[in-house]
Amino acid sequence: MFLMGEDNLVVHPSCFEVFQSMSGPLTDYYCNSSHNTYLSGHQLKSESLAQMYRIVLLTGCRCLELDCWPTNRDTECVITHGNTLCTSVPFRDCIEAIAETAFIVSEMPVI
């Protein structure tokens, strides 16, 4: 997959290494972040995938967006871009994807 390959990274892999003091408050640092993390394409009509969380975490992202929406069952929610034609994905699937990959590339916290 060329788009997600090392030859096409926005941030050079050497930048994933800690090179400064990390003892300051979070507001002192820039974080690689993701908006509509779960979407595989267009923000109004694409598929929502738990796999997208794995992909962005493995490319250095440390700030994720989880758009949680209730379902008809009181105990479950889904991740989706509400009031659009996007599909939904179970919240549990996304949290499991995050847990599996959050600290493979970096030991820095995930926000």
Q: Residue 79 class from Cβ within 10 Å (0-12 exposed, 13-18 middle, 19+ buried)?
A: buried
**What tokens does 78 get?**
């889904």
Q: Exactly one of 3, 10, 19, 35 is catalytic; which is it? A: 35
**CA separation for the pair 91, 73 (Å, rounded):** 13
Render pLDDT for 12-38 as a digit per residue (tens, 0 to 9): 767 667 777 888 888 887 777 788 888
Distance of CA 33 to the CA centre of its chain: 8
Average per-residue pLDDT for the chain: 85
Starting at the earlier edge strand, list the strands of the sheet with 68-70: 68-70, 77-79, 89-90
**CA separation for the pair 96, 89 (Å, rounded):** 12
pTM of the predicted model, to two decimals? Answer: 0.78
Q: Is 35 a catalytic residue?
A: yes
Q: Exactly one of 54, 81, 97, 102 is catalytic; which is it? A: 81
What's at 7, amino acid-wise?
A: D
Q: Is 81 a catalytic residue?
A: yes
